[in-house]
Structure 1
Amino acid sequence: MLIFPEGVRLATSTEIPFDPDLPELLAKISNAQIEPGYIVHEINDRLFKYYIEANVNAKQVWPLFCSLCKILFPEESQPVLGDISGETLHGEYANTAKMLELFDRFQFYLANDCSLQFGLGNSSPEEICEVFVASTKHFQIWTNTVDSVEKIMADYDLRRVENLQFIDEFPRVTTSLEYKDGFDGYQDLLEYLTKLVS
């Protein structure tokens, strides 16, 4: 079973609002096989050929993100920041290494707070390439170069898994993290990061 980030877990029977399908939902949770791994979707799109989704254990979220971005965006990239609502902000292009260094001190919150989502990308009218970590901390990757992504996945002992399950397919509970470093919560951190990259 996947090791989840601190901010999310599968719901228990007492945490699911009344639902006539409760027995089926509980059975689905009981039989969940949410495991580390990834799945590659071949896409017939002129802007990208592959859409890759991946589950990684919580401690691997930030290291894997950095490894992917350094390979896919060796020079410049554009930050993507958002909250659980799904709305995202695209910041200014900057040096990838400097961008990762800027985010590094907040890696615990980015990798564990399920009210935050983030990514880096480098896109043009001809191509989309982006590494995005959704609020539930599974990876979404749009790219034309699947081989380089799979090499990184192998470095983290991640393998292709058919019918890979993700936690956002199940009833779940998200919890607020305790913030330090002068921030009151995820909104405060998101506002701070948004100003840095705008």
Structure 2
Amino acid sequence: MADVSFLYCDSIAKILNAKANIPANFTNTERVIEVFRKYKFELTNDGYIQFGIANYDDNSLNEIFVTIFKYMTIWTNNKEQLAQTLNSFEIQQLETLQFIDEFPVVSEALVANEDNVIKHSSNVIGGIEKEFDEL
């Protein structure tokens, strides 16, 4: 597996349904990923939930953000390492891209089922926020 450790460190900020605010609360990386992992199905399939992780200091900025359209945006000041990592997954750089959010879109939240196997987006966001508050 490719090394993506340059994109995050021991302590990261978690991002949940944020649009343009800079995350400020940093916590243990593995614990944040653990929380996201619990909601993997909903995070990857619900059209109303966007999320990510970030770390930054005086010399660097690294953020991975998954939009409601389920594509990743990555901001980093380490372009060479990012390109190597993406190339290791056979993801090549393209000069021009068209993104799904450039076109008319209808999004739907997942519908919770009776067994509570699939959770409604408001329950997912509330559950993640509660777990983040406890970190």
Q: Which residue pairs with 2:82 in the alignment?
A: 149
Say which structure, 1 or 2, has more relative contact order (CA 8 Å, 6+ apart).
Answer: 1
CA distance in 2, matches of 1:94, 1:138: 24
8 A contact 1:118–1:132 mirrored in 2 = yes
Instruction: Give structure 2 stretches of 5+ with no counterpart.
Output: none
Query: Taking structure 1 as the reference length, what is the TM-score of the superposition?
Result: 0.57
CA distance in 1, matches of 2:93, 2:10: 28
Residues 87 and 182 (structure 1), Cα distance of their counterparts in 2 relative to 1, 3 Å cut: farther
Pairwise CA RMSD of aligned residues? Answer: 2.6
Q: Indicate yes or no: 2:35 matched with 1:105.
A: no
CA distance in 1, matches of 2:118, 2:47: 19
- Give, in angstroms, the shift of residue 124 of structure 1: 3.1
Deviations 1:124-158 (A, max 9, x none): 35543211111111222221111221122122221
For the residue of structure 1 that corresponds to 2:65, the secondary structure is strand
Residues 137 and 196 (structure 1), Cα distance of their counterparts in 2 relative to 1, 3 Å cut: same
CA distance in 2, matches of 1:114, 1:165: 19
CA distance in 2, matches of 1:91, 1:132: 15
Q: Work out the percentage of aligned pairs sharing the same amino acid.
A: 26
Instruction: Give structure 1 stretches of 5+ with no counterpart.
Output: 1-62
CA distance in 2, matches of 1:153, 1:118: 20
Residues 144 and 127 (structure 1), Cα distance of their counterparts in 2 relative to 1, 3 Å cut: same
Moved more, 71-80 or 120-129: 120-129
Instruction: State which of 96, 109, 124 in structure 2 corresponds to 1:189.
Output: 124
Segments ≥4 residues shifted beyond 4 Å = none
